[in-house]
Amino acid sequence: MKRLAIAVAIAGVLVGAPAAAQQLAPPQQVKILLNWFAQPDHAGYWQAQRDKLGRADGIAISVVQGGPKIQTIPQVAAGQAEFGIGNADDVLLARLRGAPVRAVFAHLDHVPYALVYHAGAAEASIQQLRQRTFSVNIGSAYWEWAKKQYRLGATRDIPVTGDLGLFRSDTNIVQQGYSLYLPARMAAAGVPVRQIKLAALGYRPYAVLFTTDAMIKNNPALVRATIAAVRQGWSTYLRQPDGVKPMLTTMNPQISPALYDSASKEIRATLAPADLGQLGCMSPARWRELAAQLRSVHFLPAGFDESLAYDRSFIAGCPT
């Protein structure tokens, strides 16, 4: 009887071993590569990392800061990260060039592009600014579209850089930037400015999380778990923005606490859905609109299928 009891105990250990090992298996690492340094327009991803969201589904999210030398689309396409952050227009153009990437989650309703200019006696329209010098990403889709749409003619363009000294000293310059940051930074420096938001002009590419066709096809459970985790991260941040404030302002000293607060307020008011249950949703109509704008400036050919650039299947309940 004693031998039988020992045999039963050993058998129980052997049978239970795979289950125990499975429970103790480390979560799968999921890297999200950002397109810039840590700042509030990425805050939901940092929230997901900080709160260890996704662990129940077997994943561990790791967010990697971007910067001027980071190119998220080619790096994700090459397998250096599972996911990346980008703009919807860049994803469309990448598909055209053969990069197998698709947007799966829109964290901002639109990229907060703005043209910032020195304040005068009255607010100016974009046509009234056409004689000034524009510091922009020369040849970029949004700028070529804006010039054609608003008949700006042959503007004088110079490459945008991270150095704002020239803009501060030259009141004739119109500076490209994000509405979340550049006007507030200039105000803090004592430089009165105004801005024209590209979304108000009609150019509204989503800011998106993207991955590869292969990831969607071969590991849809990981994609679904990642999207669920970052949705929760964004929901938490939008409801309680102070949670990752110390983290982000420490990581990026250019984002002061006051700038963090003003950017977070604008994100909640203008860049996130009023119904947070719609977080991440993308509209086919918006993708068609953007593709038509890119065709109008010959960035996309007539027969290009924009539906190949996104996948809406991982978020339920989005409007059609």
pLDDT digits (tens, 9 = 90+) for 100-122: 999 999 999 999 999 999 998 67
- The pTM of the full predicted model, rounded to 2 decimals, is 0.91
Distance in angstroms (rounded) separating the CA atoms of residues 188 and 261: 14
pLDDT recorded at residue 98: 97
Q: Which two tokens stand for residue 126?
A: 């974009």
Q: Of 14, 43, 6, 22, which is closest to residue 232 (Cα–Cα)?
A: 43
Task: For tokens 């250990």, name the residue.
Answer: 13
pLDDT at 5 over 60: no
DSSP category for residue 190 = T
pLDDT recorded at residue 162: 78
pLDDT recorded at residue 161: 85
pLDDT at 24 over 80: no
State the average pLDDT over residues 252-256. 96
Least confident range from 19-33, 59-73, 197-211, 278-292: namely 19-33
- Pairing verdict, β 207-212 and 101-108: antiparallel
Decide whether 25-111+205-309 matches 113-201 in CATH topology: yes
Residue-wise pLDDT tens digits, 76-107: 999 999 999 999 999 999 999 999 999 999 99
Contacts of 266 (CB under 8 A, 6+ apart): 112, 179, 180
State the average pLDDT over residues 111-134. 91
Superfamily for domain range 113-201: Periplasmic binding protein-like II (3.40.190.10)
pLDDT recorded at residue 151: 94
- Fold for 25-111+205-309, please state it: D-Maltodextrin-Binding Protein; domain 2 (3.40.190)
Residue-wise pLDDT tens digits, 167-204: 999 999 999 999 999 999 999 999 999 999 999 999 99
Domain boundaries, the chain: 25-111+205-309, 113-201
Least confident range from 3-17, 47-61, 170-184: namely 3-17
